[in-house]
Structure 1
């Protein structure tokens, strides 16, 4: 009994601490995300964004961005199974955007 009591207390304390120990990924409005990768071509900048547990690609007119930037964008259209000839790559889905803005950290 004495050997199992400390284990039971440990399990109970871990269960009690778990919600505060693990923070949920931050989510933003649908037209925002954090840049996780960037690919530049002559006319477009492709950005993989993360928003909470979602990852998605956007394509914007050539833009200076860096990994970790918080981006807000204006959506123009979504294309599925889009093949970029410049990259010789097919994206499951790309959101083409008319403009992007890097949000300044406060």
Structure 2
């Protein structure tokens, strides 16, 4: 009887040892968490760039001053609103501006492969007068794309397009933007549409502000002209 108990105990011990050895034979496999697919994010309509350099050429047309800046042997075109008196050969630094490719200036009858539309000159440089305007009306059409909300406003039988950082708007709503910056021949990549003239604002008069801020690096919109 004792012999049978001993044999049974020995068998159990050998089983435990075998199981332990099997467990130590290699590293345990750990289940890897499933890779989560991140939702695709659309690129914003705007690519921004800061330009600086020596003015190699300058010309004014259509309410803008076009500057050909040279730096490190390379030339780049920029445009600022208004007609500041900038002499050729002067070193300037511009505020961040929107990059526009294949832009045609109707007033100059010239096409630019790439040009940066800047809000003006950086601190310490001559200040550019920016023609800010007040626009408003009843929302006839609205759409959100590329981080911005576009709206068609109607007032006194006239229609204008405005753009704001993503904001909830409703058709039939009356709105007013105190300081809007006009942009001519603006192309929205996400909408695949070119606006002859569109007014950019940062917030609605009397509103709580936009749902989201302007895209990173985008120049501040809505600074009154001094």
Report the TM range for the smaller structure's normalisation. 0.5 to 0.7
Match among 70, 87, 93 for residue 66 of structure 1: 87
> Which 4+ stretches in 1 moved above 2 angstroms?
none
Q: Which has the higher helix share?
A: 1
Q: TM-score, normalised by structure 2?
A: 0.31
Match among 51, 70, 73 for residue 50 of structure 1: 70
CA offsets per residue over residues 41-64 of structure 1, 9 Å max, x none? 141000000011110000001221
Q: Which has the higher contact order (CA 8 A, sep 6+)?
A: 1
Match among 105, 110, 122 for residue 84 of structure 1: 105
Looking at structure 1, the residues matched to 88 and 51 of structure 2 have their Cα atoms a distance apart, in angstroms, of 17
Equivalent residue, structure 1, for 2:182: none
Post-superposition shift, 1:80?
A: 0.6
How much is the aligned-residue C-alpha RMSD, in angstroms?
A: 1.3
Q: Which has the higher strand share?
A: 1
Alignment of 1:1-106 (within 5 A): 31-62=51-82, 63-100=84-121, 101-102=125-126
Where in structure 2 are there 5+ consecutive unaligned residues?
Answer: 1-49, 127-226
Where in structure 1 are there 5+ consecutive unaligned residues?
Answer: 1-29
Looking at structure 1, the residues matched to 117 and 67 of structure 2 have their Cα atoms a distance apart, in angstroms, of 10
Q: TM-score, normalised by structure 1?
A: 0.64
Number of corresponding residues: 73
Equivalent residue, structure 1, for 2:145: none
